[in-house]
Amino acid sequence: MKRRDFITLFGGAAAWPLAARAQQTDQVRRIGFLRAAPPPERELEAFLRGLANRGWVQGRNFVLVPQWGDGNVARLPELAVALVNAGVDLIVAEGVVTTRAARAVTATIPIVMTGAADPFVGGLVQSLARPGGNLTGFSTMAAELAGKRLQIFRDTVAGLARVAILVPRAARGLFAASQDVAAKALGIDVVYIDLPGAEAAESGMRQALSAGAQGALLLIGPFSSSSQRQQMVDAAAELRLPLMYERREYFEQGGLVTYGPDAADLYRRAAGYVSVILSGASASDLPIEQPTKFELLINLKTAKTLGLKIPTNLLALADEVIE
C-alpha cells in the first residue's frame, strides 16, 4: 500500500459503508494502540477494515489514540501511561513485552493483545480458555512453530547443521526452550546471538558466521522501520548469510524466506474482539485464540544470489514466490 493511501485510510474511514452496525450508544469510544515500533501499515489497514465491517466508523463512533514507538522497547512504560492518561476505553497491544507494559499500568482497561509469542510468560494469562483479568487476544504459537520453521529452513539451505538465532537478549526466554527442543529433534545445533538494536545487525551476523552457522533465523528483531529492515536484508546479502524471517516485510524487501502467522489476519480478528468488548463483553471471558493463517514466502532471486537451489516440493508449498 502506498503511504498516501494508508494515511487516507487511517484518517478517512468514516467514508466506508457500514456492513454491520455496532451495538453501542452514541458515545465515541477511544481505542488505544500501543506498539514499540512505528504503525504497521498492512496490519492497521486490516484492523480498521475489520472494525468498519462491524459498524465502527472512525470519527463517528470511535477514534484511535495511538502511542507508536521508534523501536525502543524501553519507552513502552511511558507510552502505556500516556494511553491511560488519555482515557482510552480499550488498549490494543502487539506482543508479550508490549502487553506486559500495558498490564503494568492498568488492571481495569480491557487489553487485546495481537501476536503474543507466549501469553503465559510472566503470568499474563491463567489459561487460553479463560485468560482472566482485563486481558485477551491472540497468540502466535511460537513454541509450536519452532520445529516447522527450522524444518523449512533446513529444506531451504542444503546441509544446514548449525543455525544462529538472532534475538534481543531480553526476549530470548520467549523462544529458547522451544527452539532448543525443535533443533535437537532435527539434529541441528543452535547458537544464540544477542541483537540489541539495528546498529548491531552486521556485527551480529558476523558473529553467527564466526560461530560456524550456515544460516540465521531472525525472531523478534529491533528493526521497526523500512530502512532498518533493509539494512538487515542488505547485510545478510553482503555477508552471503542465508537468513530466515517471521514477518512479511522482510520478504518484500528482498529477504530470502519467511514463515509465520499472517499478521494482518490476526489484526483483522482482533478487530472482532475489540468490537464485542466495546459492546459490553468482558475481556476475561474471551479465549486466547491462535493463528489460522500462515504464510510461507520464498524469494528465488535472493536464493540464486546466495547459490541456493530451493527444492520444488518446498516451492509448491509457498504462498508467494518472487522469481
Q: What is the pLDDT of residue 221?
A: 61
Task: Encode 110-127: b = buried (16+ Cβ within 10 Å), e = exposed.
Answer: bbbbbbbbbbebeebbee
Whether the pLDDT of residue 10 is over 70: the answer is: no
Whether the pLDDT of residue 228 is over 90: the answer is: no
Which pLDDT band, with edges at 50, 70 and 90, does 294 fall under? very high
| pLDDT tens, residue by residue, 305-314 | 999 999 999 9
Task: Tell me, yes or no, if the two domains 3-140+262-294 and 142-260+295-322 fold the same way.
Answer: yes
Higher confidence at residue 97 or residue 47? 47
CA distances, 275 to each of 18, 86, 252, 269 (Å)? 14, 20, 31, 10
For residue 127, give every residue at least 6 positions away whose Cβ sits within 8 Å of its Cβ, in sequence order, or none.
none
CB 296 within 8 A of CB 152: yes
For residue 166, give every residue at least 6 positions away whose Cβ sits within 8 Å of its Cβ, in sequence order, or none.
193, 195, 204, 205, 208, 216, 217, 218, 219, 221
| % of residues, the chain, pLDDT over 90 | 65
Whether the pLDDT of residue 15 is over 50: the answer is: no
Q: What is the pLDDT of residue 26?
A: 65
Q: What is the pLDDT of residue 192?
A: 94
CB 188 within 8 A of CB 139: no
Task: Encode 19-56: b = buried (16+ Cβ within 10 Å), e = exposed.
Answer: eeebebeeeebbbbbbbbbeebbbbbbbbbbbbbbbbb
Average pLDDT, whole number, for the chain?
Answer: 87
Whether the pLDDT of residue 105 is over 90: the answer is: yes
Higher confidence at residue 323 or residue 12? 323
**CA-CA distance, 195 to 203, in Å (whole number)?**
9
Which pLDDT band, with edges at 50, 70 and 90, does 9 fall under? very low
CB 153 within 8 A of CB 121: no
Look up residue 24 and give its three cell numbers.
453501542
CATH superfamily membership of 3-140+262-294: Response regulator (3.40.50.2300)
Q: What is the pLDDT of residue 224?
A: 62
Considering 20-24, 203-207, 217-221, the range whose residues carry the highest mean pLDDT is: 203-207
CB 52 within 8 A of CB 61: no
Taking each helix axis from N to C terminus, what angle separates 226-239 and 201-210, rounded to the nearest 10 degrees?
Answer: 30
| % of residues, the chain, pLDDT over 70 | 90
CATH superfamily membership of 142-260+295-322: Response regulator (3.40.50.2300)
When pLDDT is averaged across residues 133-141 and rounded to a whole number, the result is 90
**CA-CA distance, 194 to 133, in Å (whole number)?**
33
**CA-CA distance, 145 to 284, in Å (whole number)?**
26
Which pLDDT band, with edges at 50, 70 and 90, does 222 fall under? low
Domain ranges of the chain: 3-140+262-294, 142-260+295-322
Look up residue 132 and give its three cell numbers.
482472566
Whether the pLDDT of residue 256 is over 50: the answer is: yes
CB 110 within 8 A of CB 83: no
Sheet holding 111-116: strands in order across?
Answer: 62-68, 29-35, 90-94, 111-116, 135-139
Region of poorest pLDDT, from 2-11, 90-99, 182-191: 2-11
For residue 156, give every residue at least 6 positions away whose Cβ sits within 8 Å of its Cβ, in sequence order, or none.
215, 242, 244, 256, 257, 298, 303, 308, 310, 314
Which helix (DSSP H) or strand (DSSP E) does residue 189 occupy? strand 189-194
When pLDDT is averaged across residues 60-81 and rounded to a whole number, the result is 91
Which pLDDT band, with edges at 50, 70 and 90, does 289 fall under? very high
When pLDDT is averaged across residues 10-27 and rounded to a whole number, the result is 44
| pLDDT tens, residue by residue, 149-160 | 999 999 999 999
| pLDDT tens, residue by residue, 160-195 | 999 999 987 777 777 788 889 999 999 999 999 988
Which pLDDT band, with edges at 50, 70 and 90, does 13 fall under? very low
CB 247 within 8 A of CB 100: no
Q: Give me Rg for the CA atoms of the chain.
A: 20
